[in-house]
Chain A
Amino acid sequence: MDKKSLLEILLDPTTSDAEKDDAVIELGNNFQDDDTIDILIKVSKDSNCDEMIAASCGESIAYIWLSSQRIDYEKLSNLKGITLTEALSLIKAQRPDWYKTYSDLYH
């Protein structure tokens, strides 16, 4: 499995929702770096992105931050809709200190 192939799957208009969803999950599980986070953010903000895939993007983004023990609050604050909801839920449950910082900064 390589990142390039997963990106091609995400960008291919003939890819099914199930395949895109799996690609987002695989990216989060296997490529835990800033570049992957930026890709997932971009995918989630695509107007054609289904809510299911946007939700998986949020979960994968949070998963990467939690795994790497590093979070980017600015990027978190720029997530939208279900992507933000999913990311925040995971962070709130697993890193309440991060959630508190986020809340202090943006609420």
Chain B
Amino acid sequence: MSKTWSYVPTQNIPATATAVTTEEQNNGSGNQSTVRNSWDYAAGLGREILGLPNLPGSDYSDKSNAFKYGYSVGNRAMPLTLNFEGLRTPVSSAPEFAVGYNGTLAQTVAVDAWKSGYLGSTIINASTNNSNSGDNEADEGSSNPLVKDAGSISKNTENLRTWAQDNGWVQQNTAGGVEQWGVRNADGTFSWRLKLKPEASTREGLGVGSNQPRFDARLDDKGTYINPFTGETGGRGVGTHIPLGE
């Protein structure tokens, strides 16, 4: 989906809103009289992103997932669902989030969207106002790459680690030494987002994608994979066996 990013009116933003902590944002426990939780600020943003501002139904937020804002209508079996999932907490500047519609990922964007709640500003064009700055050399091109493909294992590994850290992911290696980055589930289990596999396999039987330094990346545990070098999102085929460099 191609869409020009433009002004998205924020809703019910109190003029007296003040900074709150990340925990307060997610719990909605800030100054309740004036500062509603950050999910409230997100109301309507998802539909605006899809260019469907008049889509009928009700907004909802799933606070069991601190990074999820949703919109749905329909019965439970076949919901019309739009997920708006930041990789960081809202408001405090999520550098990127995925937008899905009716079970199909529409796009992943890198914008400074969540600041809108407090600053009263807008969703900003990702291609021209990418807030994902830092040391990972994130590109600012129109194709929305999130990490620059430097061509070398060492540099790409460094950039991907920075990308993971910027997303708030934590590192957990396997006993066999595979470097993983991800998040902790509520039950304490680790949910991976990035796996670095720098050693090329020489085994017969695996696909050619395994015979090279490679990595896997995904945005969630719901089937949304990403190639951070291109910004392309999709299924497993998009985010597995990505060449790590030479």
Binding site for B on A (CB under 8 A): 1-2, 5-6, 8-9, 15-19, 21-23, 25-26, 28-29, 50-53, 55, 59, 63, 81-82, 85-86, 89-90, 92-94, 96-97, 100
Please indicate the chain A residues that have their CB under 8 angstroms from the CB of B220 in the complex: 89, 93
Known contacts being A8-B205, A18-B197, A22-B207, is A82 close to B77, with CB within 8 Å?
no
Whether A22 lies near B206 (C-beta < 8 A) is yes
Query: Which residues on A sit within 8 Å (CB–CB) of B191?
Result: 55, 85-86, 89
A85 to nearest B CB, angstroms? 6
B207 engages A9 (CB within 8 Å): no
Q: In the complex the two chains form, is A90's CB within 8 Å of B206's CB?
A: no
Q: List 26 A-B contacts (CB under 8 A).
A: A6-B206, A9-B206, A16-B176, A18-B195, A18-B197, A19-B203, A21-B195, A22-B206, A22-B209, A25-B216, A26-B207, A29-B236, A51-B174, A51-B189, A55-B192, A63-B223, A85-B185, A85-B189, A85-B191, A86-B221, A89-B222, A90-B222, A94-B103, A96-B79, A97-B77, A100-B76
Residues of A within 8 A of B185 (CB): 85
A85 to B184, CA, bound (A): 12
Asked whether B203 lies within 8 Å of A85 as measured between CB atoms, the reply is no
Given contacts A17-B178, A21-B178, A100-B77, contact A26 B206 (CB under 8 A): yes
Asked whether A90 lies within 8 Å of B223 as measured between CB atoms, the reply is yes
Q: Let me know if B203 and A15 touch, CB within 8 A.
A: yes
Minimum C-beta distance from A60 to chain B (A): 9
